[in-house]
């Protein structure tokens, strides 16, 4: 019998499993499971019909609204980083209760699309929504009593026709893809029918299938001048507490003809990104939204975080969760270092 107390015996020298062997320089990058590249990223671009010069967005450091004549130059700046795709948002010169400038032939996005598609090789996605174009800031036609006693705020089926008209006008102007973001029931079906009837059956739809009523959208609403003038968007955007509902939304949009799906926001909903990725067999996008961008900048300005490192790590986490592409305001900064 061994008289040496068990606590004093030497640990075995032979270890068959040493995970640290694959963490040394040289091999570490070879076995990395998730790789980020510029082709994974989509850069948002804001085009503003109300200005003739670039306007910085205070709550989104490094980003600007650009006038239509500078849209091509702005997109070329993105392309120089290795990114291949942009998503366009517009700030119109005027607004009304039906958001008519969203589907106007000479609308701000339509004008920018014509120039960008003619003069660059960018893959251009056009956001399809009405909130930036309505004088009330909601994503569709209002219910009659929406301001005084809202029950659903936006009239769902009356809004579908306007969304389809917007998507068709964008396709006519040169959009490579349209991305409806209003969370209107039936929007994919209506837009698919509108595009097909107009001869744009090859234009794909990236549906914001899973879009939460989130507190992380604040800076974007400043950037796009799209905050609601009353109430909120709880009647059409999803409850942050719901995950199973996200799968129902995703399945519905695929059935209606969506070619790809978006989850928005990204970081607070990585579990949802993963669930949607497992549920559907179409590409999944995630939107790393303005609040996620702004909070890292704010912490970095305080000296609390390394901005470059946390931005990169955030995007890797989104891709690791299952996103095939990421819409992010960090796109250009991260792409330059990849």
Catalytic residue numbers read: 211, 264
Q: In this structure, what DSSP letter does residue 133 have?
A: T
User: What value, to the nearest 5°, has the Cα angle with vertex 335 and ends 108 and 176?
Assistant: 35
Q: Which residue has the tokens 């939204």?
A: 289
Cβ contacts of 69 within 8 Å, gap of 6 or more: 52
Please state whether beta strands 55-56 and 64-67 pair in parallel, antiparallel, or not at all (unpaired).
Answer: antiparallel
Q: Provide Rg for the chain, Cα atoms.
A: 23
Cβ contacts of 169 within 8 Å, gap of 6 or more: 103, 104, 105, 107, 110
d(CA 29, CA 227): 43
DSSP-assigned beta bridge partners for residue 43: 86
């Amino acid at each position: 019998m061994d008289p040496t107390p068990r606590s004093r015996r030497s640990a075995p020298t032979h270890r068959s499993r040493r995970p640290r062997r694959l963490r040394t320089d040289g091999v570490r990058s070879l076995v990395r499971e998730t790789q980020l590249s510029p082709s994974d990223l989509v850069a948002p671009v804001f085009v503003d019909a109300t200005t003739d010069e670039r306007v910085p967005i205070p709550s989104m450091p490094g980003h600007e609204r650009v006038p239509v004549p500078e849209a091509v130059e702005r997109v070329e700046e993105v392309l120089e980083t290795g990114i291949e795709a942009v998503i366009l948002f517009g700030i119109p010169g005027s607004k009304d209760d039906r958001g008519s400038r969203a589907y106007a032939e000479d609308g701000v996005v339509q004008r920018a699309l014509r120039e960008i598609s003619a003069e660059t090789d960018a893959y251009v996605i056009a956001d399809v929504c009405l909130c930036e174009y309505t004088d009330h800031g909601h994503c569709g036609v209002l219910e009659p009593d929406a301001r005084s006693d809202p029950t659903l705020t936006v009239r769902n089926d009356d809004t579908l026709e306007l969304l389809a008209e917007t998507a068709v006008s964008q396709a006519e102007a040169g959009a490579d893809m349209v991305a409806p973001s209003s969370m209107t029931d039936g929007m994919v079906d209506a837009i698919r029918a509108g595009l097909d009837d107009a001869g744009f059956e090859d234009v794909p739809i990236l549906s914001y299938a899973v879009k939460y009523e989130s507190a992380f959208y604040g800076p974007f609403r400043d950037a796009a001048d799209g905050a609601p003038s009353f109430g909120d968007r709880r009647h059409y955007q999803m409850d942050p507490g719901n995950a199973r509902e996200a799968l129902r939304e995703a399945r519905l949009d695929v059935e209606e003809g969506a070619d790809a799906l978006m989850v928005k926001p990204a970081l607070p909903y990585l579990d949802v990104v993963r669930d949607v990725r497992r549920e559907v067999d179409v590409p999944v996008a995630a939107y790393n939204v303005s609040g996620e961008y702004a909070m890292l900048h704010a912490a970095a300005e305080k000296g609390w975080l390394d901005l470059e490192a946390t931005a990169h790590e955030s995007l890797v986490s989104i891709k690791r969760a299952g996103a095939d592409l990421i819409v992010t305001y960090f796109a250009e900064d991260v792409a330059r270092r990849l």
